[in-house]
Structure 1
Amino acid sequence: MNVKVKKVWARLRVLRRRDSGMVTSEYAMGIVAAVGFALLLYEVVTSGQVRSELQAIVKRALSVRM
């Protein structure tokens, strides 16, 4: 192997060994963001207009003749 190829492989080995995961604070922020999004989605889905539209869709689906 020539010197350039060896250097590329050495660099790839170093990059592969790096810790690319999240730290505890990043996990915590991710969980807070996910919970916030879930609450927002829950509020939207349980609002009056959306709830009535979802109920209408379910009623139509259940009343289809096969």
Structure 2
Amino acid sequence: MSIIKTGPAGKTARRPLDVTGRGTSARRGRAWWERRTHACRAAAEAGMSTAEYAVGTIAACGFAAVLYKIVTSGPVKSALSGVIEKALHVSF
């Protein structure tokens, strides 16, 4: 409560203090902090996704290299050639 003077005679009256602006600075500070920490957490999650994609890409490349070695090996190469030649010589 605050005392304020009213009227020409200088009479005093009590009325509640205007508190509409009270605490807005704290709310704005908290809102800023929440936005900032959310942005940091989102950035940290983005880095984890990137690392997971990198591991997945490395694994896919390793699997492709193993598959290439298997397909280009002698026995598999001759088996595939036989299947292809047989398919080309089939009469309809």
TM-score by length of 1: 0.66
Segments of 5+ residues of structure 1 without an aligned counterpart are 1-18
Question: Which is bigger in relative contact order (C-alpha 8 A, separation at least 6)?
Answer: 2
Larger Rg: 2
- What is the aligned-residue identity percentage? 50
Matches within 5 A, 1:1-66: 23-66=49-92
Length, aligned pairs only: 46
TM-score by length of 2: 0.48
Segments of 5+ residues of structure 2 without an aligned counterpart are 1-44
Query: RMSD across aligned C-alpha pairs, in angstroms?
Result: 1.4
The amino acid of 1:43's aligned partner reads: K
Higher share of residues assigned helix = 1
Runs of 4+ in structure 1 deviating by more than 4 angstroms, as ranges, are: none
Higher share of residues assigned strand = 2
